[in-house]
Amino acid sequence: MHIPAEQTPIPLGASTLSQLADTIVRPRYDRSRALPGLVHIGVGGFNRSHLAIYLDDLLARGESHRWGELGIGLLPGDKQIHAALEEQDFLYGHLQVDTDQESYRVIGSLVGHLFAPESGEAVLEKLSAADCAIVSLTVTEGGYFIENASGRFLADHEDVRHDLADPERPKTWLGYVAEASNRRMRLGRPPFTLLSCDNLQANGETARTALLSFAGSRNSTLHKWMETNISFPNSMVDRITPRTTDDNRAAIANKFGVLDLCPVVSEPFRQWVLEDAFVAGRPAWELVGAQMTSDVAPYEKTKMRLLNGGHSAIGYAADLLGYSTIADAVSDPMLHELLEEFMAEVRPTLPQLPGIDLDSYTATIVKRFSNSAIRDQVARICSDGCTKMAKFIVPSLVDLLEGREFPRVLPFVIASWLHYLRGFDESGRKLSIADPSLAYLQAFLDAGGGDVRLALSVRPLFGEIAFTHPQLVSAVQTALDQLRKNRARATLEQILKRAKTT
Ligand code: CS2
């Protein structure tokens, strides 16, 4: 469909829905009847391309009006999305893109949004309302205040200390959920489920550790109530959701005739595996493709090691070679081969799963990464490298080394990341490195970024491997030396040749 240029795009909103082109799917259900049975903290792109769409699918089937979503923005930076959503009556569009297909659909499951820094009391009311049966979260890894290596709760964090000192005017989700629980306890209100939707292993357990540690520091009666009354299901979430760009907004205006201030873009693929542990009811997500199970861990492991690990495995080399999208990167035969070799290397560390055939799972990953329309940013994949290495790459490495398998391409992956940290690509272009944990590598960087021991011996990132497996340290050192001397393509060529012959 193409909207003629002279036609002015229609601003998205409840009153303009009926004027949109007929081909655009939109909510046909009565949004005013949808109760916010689920309150979600952190309505970023991923929430809007994943959970909210599962809910919209259910509402569209007329399954239940109990499960609308009320969104909450906690961070000062959420003000912009709040204003955009409010302007559009909390409607937004989902641009789903595949290499040869593009569709735009209006999502209506978000029935409200509150900006906590300006509406703290309203947020507490919604979280403690008897209607709210699920509080869900996407707050990113840092939002859990759990130290990577030790799993220890960061009770000394300034924001945590603030919320303990002033419990009725919190800043963090921990403070909000604890205060809402306090009100539920005092008023004799029902229990609820806390559902983490972050891409973390054991996300439910992580949320439990954080919240109960916080509650324990606040008050022992409240801690007991929360321990008894809240369930924390684990879940595995998957849908590639690049950052929305101005080009996306312009394409929506030009091709679909809609002026959408806060669309979200994603691939068609989506997956959600949830532990079925909801104490106050849940939407029938299995009717719209989610998988309910008693053990999410093996699914998470498979996703993180192959898909997320696969992204990191090619991302740094792609940036060094000057690629800016993942699809362009995997269309380079050498990076394509790196991805295949990486997945072949990691596969033996994974369990056999009912319903998951690893051959087709890995083939789907290659296809998903090759989606040229999605323009997923290499810079997005390369961001937050310290955490990604520690979570997506090191666990496979440890398993392989412990199983006495010496990895062929993983040392190169680590070396490519360390080389990328110099901050410019092979043509001298400056790379923008976004990593809140970079301080872990200060000693390595201060020494000129050439001595891998200074990086691999950082225990919070690499554990003990530098001390137990000196052979690995030499393999990473050799790869880094080669990268510095011979550049990425020649180094990669050699690594791949060697990988094939061993
Ligand atoms: C990506 C993920 O950031 C990354 O490194 O691998 O954001 C990935 O796109 C999502 O986990 C897909 O579900």
Atom 10, ligand 1: residue with shortest CA distance: 240
Tens digit of each residue's pLDDT (9 = 90 or more) over 477-501: 999 999 999 999 999 999 999 888 7
Q: Determine if ligand 1 sits within 6 Å of the CB of residue 49.
A: no
In the prediction, which pLDDT does 34 show?
87
Amino acid at 65: H
Predicted confidence (pLDDT) at residue 60 exceeds the cutoff of 80: yes
Tokens of 82: 């709040």
- Ligand 1 proximity of 238 Cβ (cutoff 6 Å): yes
Q: What is the mean pLDDT of residues 285-297?
A: 96
Is the pLDDT at 416 greater than 70? The verdict is yes
Q: Return the residue whose CA atom lies nearest to atom 2 of ligand 1.
A: 308
Q: What is the mean predicted confidence (pLDDT) over 473-478?
A: 97
- Ligand 1 contacts CB of residue 126 (under 6 A): no
Nearest CA owner, ligand 1 atom 4? 381
Q: Whose CA is nearest to atom 5 of ligand 1?
A: 381
pLDDT computed for residue 100 by the predictor: 86
The pLDDT value recorded for residue 30 is 94
Q: Distances in Å between the alpha carbon of 343 and those of 350, 363, 393, 405? A: 11, 10, 11, 15
How far is the centre of ligand 1, averaged over its atoms, from the C-alpha of 71 (Å)?
22
Predicted local distance difference test score (pLDDT) of residue 91: 98
| pLDDT for the residue 272 | 98
Dihedral sign for Cα atoms in the order 18, 24, 27, 28: positive
Task: Calculate the average pLDDT of the chain.
Answer: 95
**Tens of pLDDT, residues 309-341:** 999 999 999 999 999 999 999 999 999 999 999
Which two structure tokens, joined as six digits, stand for 37?
């049975």
Q: Is the CB of 419 under 6 A from ligand 1?
A: no
Pocket probe for ligand 1: among 140, 235, 240, 376, the residue whose CB has the most ligand atoms within 8 Å is 240
58: CA distance to ligand 1 center in Å?
25
Q: Which atom of ligand 1 is nearest to the CA of 312?
A: 5
Pocket perturbation via mutation, ligand 1, pick of 381, 382, 383, 435 by most ligand atoms within 8 A of CB: 381
Could you give the angle at the alpha carbon of 500 between the alpha carbons of 495 and 502, nearest 5°? 95
pLDDT at 26: 98
Mean pLDDT score, 407-414: 97
In this structure, the residue with its CA closest to atom 6 of ligand 1 is 308
Pocket probe for ligand 1: among 307, 330, 420, the residue whose CB has the most ligand atoms within 8 Å is 307
* Token pair belonging to 210: 């954080």
Give residue 63's pLDDT. 80
φ and ψ at residue 244, rounded to 5 degrees: -70, 135
Alpha carbon of 247 to ligand 1 centroid (Å): 21
User: pTM here?
Assistant: 0.95
pLDDT value for 164? 97
Residue 271 CA to ligand 1 centre (angstroms):
13
The pLDDT value given to residue 108: 98
Whether residue 378 has its Cβ less than 6 Å from ligand 1 = no
pLDDT digits (tens, 9 = 90+) for 10-54: 999 999 999 999 999 999 999 998 889 999 999 999 999 999 999
Instruction: Name the percent of the chain lying above pLDDT 90.
Output: 92
Shortest-distance Cα residue to atom 9 of ligand 1: 240
CB 114 within 8 A of CB 121: no
CB-ligand 1 contact for 56 (6 Å cutoff): no
Q: What is the CA radius of gyration of the chain?
A: 23
**Residue showing tokens 């229990």:** 191
pLDDT, mean of residues 231-260: 97
Determine whether the shortest distance from the Cβ of 266 to ligand 1 is under 6 A.
no
pLDDT above 90 (res 151): no
Asked if pLDDT for residue 148 goes beyond 80, the answer is no
The pLDDT of residue 2 is above 80: no
The answer on pLDDT for 87 being more than 60 is yes
What pLDDT, on the 0 to 100 scale, is given for residue 353? 84
Q: What are phi and psi of 293, to 5 degrees?
A: -150, 175
Give me the mean pLDDT over the 160-188 stretch. 98
Q: What is the pLDDT of residue 404?
A: 87
Q: What is the pLDDT of residues 36-46, one digit of tens each?
A: 999 999 999 99
DSSP, residue by residue, 33-89: G--B-EEEE--SHHHHHTHHHHHHHHHHTT--SSB-EEEEE-SGGGHHHHHHHHHTT
Among 311, 330, 387, name the best residue to mutate to test ligand 1's pocket (greatest count of ligand atoms within 8 A of Cβ): 311
Tell which atom from ligand 1 comes closest to the C-alpha of 307. Answer: 6
Closest CA to 374 of 248, 202, 462: 248
* 368 Cβ inside 6 Å of ligand 1: no
Amino acid (one-letter) located at 477: Q
Return the DSSP state at 409: S
- Cβ–ligand 1 contact at 303 (below 6 Å): no
38 neighbors 133 (Cβ within 8 angstroms) = yes
Judge if the beta carbon of residue 396 lies within 6 A of ligand 1: no
361-403 pLDDT, tens digit per residue, is 999 999 999 999 999 999 999 999 999 999 999 999 999 999 9
Task: Please tell me the distance between residue 244's alpha carbon and the centre of ligand 1 in angstroms.
Answer: 15
Q: What is the pLDDT of residue 6?
A: 55
- For the segment 203-245, what is each residue's pLDDT rounded down to a tens digit? 999 999 999 999 999 999 999 999 999 999 999 999 999 999 9
Residue-by-residue DSSP string for 289-345: T-EEES--HHHHHHIIIIIIHHHHHHHHHHHHTT--BHHHHHTSHHHHHHHHHHHHH
pLDDT category of residue 121 using cuts at 50, 70 and 90: very high
Residue with the smallest CA separation from ligand 1 atom 3 is: 381
Q: How confident is the model at residue 4 (pLDDT cuts 50, 70, 90)?
A: low
Q: Kindly give the number of the ligand 1 atom that is closest to the alpha carbon of 311.
A: 6
Average pLDDT score over residue span 172-192: 98
